Amino acid sequence: NAGVTQTPKFRVLKTGQSMTLLCAQDMNHEYMYWYRQDPGMGLRLIHYSVGEGTTAKGEVPDGYNVSRLKKQNFLLGLESAAPSQTSVYFCASRRGPYQPQHFGDGTRLSIL
């Protein structure tokens, strides 16, 4: 049981480039989330989804887009990367209300 898998694990981009981060979960969870973690800032919610075909904005959504075309996948896109988006990105999923979120091991993204 792989749980939550994030790809890629590391990436370096140049300012203005675009990329997509993939999150896949094999637990049949309804809810999925994207966070960023920065030193001294803790985990901040970017976007989330409460089911296939749905997405919603979190605390820091600007500069990011998401899609949930399949229940098991949640994609995070950066259309035009900026140095301020250098961070570690975590995906999480959970079964439903009053259930814990389960996290992947993160994608470390550097934007030069």
Considering only 11-19, 50-58, 68-76, 78-86, which stretch makes contact with another protein by CB under 8 A? 50-58
Contact with another protein (CB under 8 A): which of 58, 61, 63, 77?
A: 58
Instruction: For tokens 């979190």, name the residue.
Output: 58
Contact with another protein (CB under 8 A): which of 43, 63, 86, 95?
A: 43
User: Shortest approach of another protein to residue 49 CB, angstroms?
Assistant: 9
Contacts of residues 61-69 at CB distance under 8 Å and 24 or more positions apart, as own/partner, are: 64/34, 66/34, 68/32
Q: Which is nearer to another protein, 87 or 101 (CB)?
A: 101
Give which of 110, 72, 109, 105 is closest to 6, Cα–Cα: 105
Contact with another protein (CB under 8 A): which of 23, 24, 31, 75?
A: 31
**Interface residues toward another protein, by CB under 8 A:** 4, 31, 33, 40, 42-43, 45, 48, 50, 56, 58-59, 90, 92, 97-98, 100-106
